[in-house]
Amino acid sequence: MTKIQKKVSYTKIFWDIFYDEQIHNNYTNILSIEFHRIINERRTNLQWVYSGSTVGLLYTKSEYKD
């Protein structure tokens, strides 16, 4: 079985979100903008990441080798 070799780079994007009311009401819009930017760059395997008061995006971008 032959597999196509590919190089996969992993990138994390995090925002520090502290749950005061103003930021909590605005972070969804920030993440939505970033979501669309990543989709437009054709990055794949997008995941939301939550860690304590930090929220972010984790995605992988695959680059195929010749």
Instruction: Give pLDDT, residue 30.
Output: 62
Phi and psi torsions of 2, nearest 5°: -105, 130
Q: Which domain holds residue 47?
A: 6-64
What confidence tens digit (pLDDT) does each residue in 20-45 have? Answer: 445 555 655 666 666 566 556 555 55
Going 63 to 48 to 41 to 44, the CA torsion angle's sign is positive
Q: Is residue 49 part of a domain?
A: yes
Structural domains of the chain, count:
1
What does the block give as tokens for 28?
């969804």
Instruction: Give pLDDT, residue 15.
Output: 43
**What mean pLDDT is reported for the chain?**
53
Terminal Cα-to-Cα distance of the chain (whole angstroms):
18
Neighbours of 59 (CB within 10 A): 20
